[in-house]
Amino acid sequence: MYYPDELVEEVRARSDIVNVIGSYIRLQKKGSSHMGLCPFHNEKTPSFSVSASRQIYHCFGCGVGGNVFTFIMEYENYTFVEALKLLAERAGIALPEREYTEEERRQADLRSRLFEVNKKAAKYFYYRLKSPDGEAARRYLAGRSLSEDIIKQFGLGYASKYSDDLYKYLKGEGYDDGFLKTSGLISFDEVRGAHDKFWDRVIFPIMDINNRVIGFGGRVMGKSANELAKYLNSPETSIFNKGRSLYALNLARRSKEPYFLVCEGYMDVITLHQAGFSNAVAALGTALTSFHANLLKRYKTEAVLTFDSDEAGIQASLRAIPLLKEAGMTVKVLNMEPYKDPDDFIKALGTEEFKKRIEQARNSFFFEIEVMQREYDLNDPEQKTRFFQEIARKLTGFSDELERNIYIEASAKTYNIGVDMLRKLVDRLALTMYTAAPEAKVFGREAYKNKKPSEEGLFRAQSLLLTWLSEDEALFNILRDVLGPEDFTEGICTRVAQYMYEQHEMGQKVEPAGIISRFESMEEQSEASLVFALDIPGEMTGAIRQKALIDTVCRVMENSLDKQSLQAIEDNNTVRLQEIIRQKLDLRKKVTNLLS
C-alpha cells in the first residue's frame, strides 16, 4: 500500500510552511517573504527565506531549499514517510495504514539495532567501571567529587585499556563486523584489525530526548591525557549527529526553571546537576549551532551562558549569543571570575553563591559591549567616537522599535552619551546599511558561485520568468504560443519548466511547492527552490514591472534562438538560420505587443 499523490498533496496544502518552519526557527517578515537564520549552517546575518505565497524555503547562504516536506526531513533527519506522518498529524489528517517498503523496513531495523547495541555498550561500560579494571576511572571520578548517585544517573562508564574488549563482548552477543562498523563503536584497519573506538577512557553516554543512548563521549585520564585528544565523540550514524544533539537535554528539559544553563562540556553539566542545577546542557565538543539554539527554544525561552571565563570561553559566548537571540531566546552571560568554570566555582564558593551569580548574570547585549570596549581607549576622542558608532551599529540589530528605544536609553545612560544624539546615529546608520545592501545579497550570489557571470544572469532571467509564470495564469496563457519548456535551458530550469507546462496543460494550478515535490533528491529540491526564490527586489510600479517582464522574456527567448541558430549552422540549414535571424530582429516588438 502507498499514499496516493492526492493525499500527499492535501497534507502539503494544509501545512502552511511559514507556520511549520516558524515553530522551529524565528522568522521575521521582510517584504513579501519571511527571513531567519538558517538552521542548517552557522550564520550571523539571516539569509534563510520562506515564501508564504510559493510555500517554499531557500537559503541564499548554503543553498538548501525545498518545500515543507523537505524542511522536516532535513531538520528532523526524517524519511519522507516520517515527515508526512508528522505533518498529517499536525494538520489533523488521518493517514491510512500502509505497508513499509523493503528499504524503509531496512532503515527502521538499522535504527532499532543501533539503539539496541548502544544500550548494551552503555551497560557494558558501566559494568567495566564497577569491575576491578575500572579502579583508575573510579579514582578519576572521585577526584572530580562525583557521587555514586550522579555517576549512576548519567550512566558513566569505563572503556577497558584493552583495545578489543568491547569488540569481543559485542561479537559474543551475535553482532557481525559489518554492523559493528556501522555502529561507530568498532573501527577496522589493516594494521590493527578490529578495535574499539573507545579504550582506556571514562565514558559519557549521550542520550536523545527520549532517553535512548545515541552515542558516547570518552575522556582520557592520567598521563595519556597529554598524548591523546582529551575528549573523543562517537562518529555520526543514522541516530547520532553531534551538531544536532545536546548533552543532558533529556534531563534538563524537565527542569522547572524557566532557563537553561548552557555549558561547554560534560563535566560542567554533571557538576551542575549534582549541585542541584538540573537545567544544565552542553554541546558535544562543537560550537553551539543555530540548530542547537532552536532545539533549546522548543523547551524554554531563556538561556544563561556558563562558558569558561578565559578568552576562548568569551569568544564562544560571543558566537552563541546571536544564534540564541535569533531563535527567540533571552540570553544572559554568567560571570564566574575569578574562577574558570562552574566546576571550579562551585567547589570554591558553593551552590548558593552560584545561584547569586545566576541572578546577577549580565544582559547579553551589554556583555558584548563590555568585551568590545576593551578594543578602544575611551580617553582618546577619536577612539571614543568609533566606540559609540559601534554601539549604534549593534543597536540597529533590534528590529522591534520599542526594544531598540529601551536599549538606546540604557546605552546612553551607561556610557554617558545624549539619548537623542545616539538615537539619530542609530537611525542614520540603519538607513545607510539598508540602502547600501548589495544586490548580490538580495539575489543570493552564493548560489551562483560556480557559474560564469553570463550563466548567472541567464539562470536568474529564466528563474524570474518561471516564478512570474507560476504566479500569473494570464501571463502563462499569453506566452504559451511563443514560449515553451525547451526555451528554458539553464540547469534545472529545464525540468522545472517541463513540470510547470505539464500542470498547466492539464488545467491544474501551478504551485512551486508542488513542483519541488516532483524532484526526488534533496540536492535537486534545493536547486529547484532557488528557481522560485529569486525575485526583483523592492517595490515595482506597473510600468517598471512591465519593462522588467519584457526584458526578461526577450533575454530568455534570445538565448533560445541563439542555441537554435548554432544547431542550424551545425546542420547546414540555411533556411532555418535565416528564419531565426528574422525572429530575433522582430523579437522585442513582438514581445512588447504581446505584453501590452
Are residues 282 and 166 located together in one domain of the fold?
A: no
Are residues 26 and 68 located together in one domain of the fold?
A: yes
Whether the Cβ atoms of residue 247 and residue 281 lie closer than 8 Å to each other: yes
CA nearest to 361, candidates 312, 415, 302, 311: 302
Least confident of 95-104, 110-119, 362-371: 95-104
* Residues 208-219: tens digit of each pLDDT: 988 999 999 999
Are residues 299 and 349 located together in one domain of the fold?
A: yes
Are residues 228 and 206 located together in one domain of the fold?
A: yes
Q: 515 lies in a domain?
A: yes
Q: 553 lies in a domain?
A: yes
Domain boundary residue, one of 91, 124, 144: 91
Provide the CATH number for the domain around residue 137.
3.90.980.10
Q: Does position 482 have pLDDT exceeding 80, yes or no?
A: yes
Q: Does position 52 have pLDDT exceeding 60, yes or no?
A: yes
Are residues 194 and 294 located together in one domain of the fold?
A: no
DSSP assignments along 154-217, one per residue? TT-EEE-SSTTHHHHHHHHTT--HHHHHHHTSEEEETTTEEEES--SEEEEEEE-TTS-EEEEE
Domain boundary residue, one of 236, 252, 282: 236
Provide the CATH number for the domain around residue 585.
1.10.860
Q: 104 lies in a domain?
A: no
CA distance 590 to 583: 9
User: What average pLDDT score do residues 443-447 get?
Assistant: 40
Q: 368 lies in a domain?
A: no
DSSP assignments along 230-265, one per residue? SEEEPPP-SS--GGG-EETHHHHTT-SSSEEEEESS
Domain tally, the chain: 5
Q: Does position 446 have pLDDT exceeding 50, yes or no?
A: no
CA distance 198 to 159: 6
Cα separations in angstroms, 397 against 283, 405, 408: 26, 12, 12
Q: 494 lies in a domain?
A: yes
Q: 366 lies in a domain?
A: no
Q: 105 lies in a domain?
A: no
- Partners of 29 in beta bridges: 34
Q: Does position 171 have pLDDT exceeding 60, yes or no?
A: yes
CA nearest to 3, candidates 94, 115, 65: 94
Q: What is the pLDDT of residue 439?
A: 36
Q: 97 lies in a domain?
A: no
Q: Does position 248 have pLDDT exceeding 80, yes or no?
A: yes
Q: What is the pLDDT of residue 443?
A: 37
Domain boundary residue, one of 236, 253, 270: 236
Q: Which helix (H) or strand (E) holds 519?
A: none
Are residues 520 and 564 located together in one domain of the fold?
A: yes
User: How wide is the angle at C-alpha 231 spanned by C-alphas 230 and 233, nearest 5°?
Assistant: 155
Mean pLDDT of the chain: 85
CA nearest to 271, candidates 136, 435, 145, 456: 145
Find the domain containing 159 and state its range: 110-236
Residue whose C-alpha cell is 522560485: 532
Are residues 414 and 350 located together in one domain of the fold?
A: no
Are residues 447 and 581 located together in one domain of the fold?
A: yes
Are residues 450 and 428 located together in one domain of the fold?
A: no
Are residues 230 and 280 located together in one domain of the fold?
A: no
User: What average pLDDT score do residues 132-141 get?
Assistant: 94
User: Computed over its alpha carbons, how large is the radius of gyration of the chain?
Assistant: 29
Q: Does position 173 have pLDDT exceeding 90, yes or no?
A: yes
Are residues 404 and 297 located together in one domain of the fold?
A: no
Are residues 347 and 266 located together in one domain of the fold?
A: yes
Q: What is the pLDDT of residue 592?
A: 84
* Residues 20-48: tens digit of each pLDDT: 999 888 898 887 789 998 888 877 788 89
Structure confidence at residue 543 as a pLDDT band (50, 70, 90): low
Cα torsion 101, 103, 109, 115 to 10°: value is -130
